[in-house]
Amino acid sequence: MKRQNHIRQRRRIFVGCEGESEQSYIALIQRHLGAAAAFHIVARVLNGGDPLALLESARKAIRAQRANGRDPFVKRFVLIDSDLRGRSPARDVECTAVAAEEGIDIVWQEPCHEAMLLRHLIGCHDRRPATSTASLEALRREWPRYRKNMTAQELEERIDRASLERAVEHDLEVAKLLRSVGSS
């Protein structure tokens, strides 16, 4: 009688991303979780310009996975730069409604992805640049080789497991995501 190895099915988590930079960050998190992780993170770059368009794109992606017979996502997140909020209050309200309807947690990157990355670096956990431009400048001062759309491997040069733990301690938005996947 042949012995069969049982492969444990990992639960799936959906993470919608504004762009490739966020997608690489999510891939980095998956790398740090390793092969024994209880979760598989499905990161998708979303179409859209404002929070509502991003949430509608996420809803479409989640429903497409369901329609294809895939296992449902046990958790759903969308990473959005907070500097996109407030441009259209009515659309912001609708965005919140779509997120609630689909069970999506919005991770607001304050004010943008580069500022969130900055807070992962040693000695930068309390840095809160006011604008996206100031965030990118501050990140490049600390990490001169940083550029947008780096790969997970390139991000890993500066963001290690300890960096993720620092972010959880000092960034409540990032903590929502990282604690859910067991990265800290």
State the pLDDT at residue 35: 65
Each residue's pLDDT tens digit, 33-51 = 876 678 889 999 999 889 9
pLDDT band for 180, please (50, 70, 90 cuts). Answer: confident
Each residue's pLDDT tens digit, 61-102 = 999 988 887 888 999 999 999 999 989 999 999 999 999 999
Average predicted confidence (pLDDT) for the chain: 91
State the pLDDT at residue 71: 85
> Is residue 43 helix, strand or coil?
strand
d(CA 97, CA 86): 15
Q: 155 near 25, Cβ under 8 Å? A: yes
pLDDT band for 1, please (50, 70, 90 cuts). Answer: low
User: 134: which DSSP letter?
Assistant: H
Q: Is the pLDDT of residue 3 over 70?
A: no
pLDDT band for 7, please (50, 70, 90 cuts). Answer: low
* Mean pLDDT along residues 49-62: 95
Backbone angles phi, psi at 13, to 5 degrees: -120, 135
Each residue's pLDDT tens digit, 129-178 = 999 999 999 999 999 999 999 999 999 999 999 999 888 888 898 899 98
Q: Which residues contact 95 (CB under 8 A, 6 or more apart)?
A: 50, 51, 52, 54, 55, 106
CB-count burial class (<10 Å; 0-12, 13-18, 19+) for 143: buried
Q: 144 near 115, Cβ under 8 Å? A: no
Topology of domain 11-181, per CATH?
A: Rossmann fold (3.40.50)
φ/ψ bin of 149: left (φ > 0), alpha (ψ from -120 to 50), beta (otherwise): left
CB-count burial class (<10 Å; 0-12, 13-18, 19+) for 112: buried
State the pLDDT at residue 6: 53
State the pLDDT at residue 4: 60
pLDDT band for 181, please (50, 70, 90 cuts). Answer: confident
State the pLDDT at residue 148: 94
The helix or strand, by DSSP H or E, that contains position 78, with its residue range, turns out to be: strand 73-81
d(CA 102, CA 80): 16
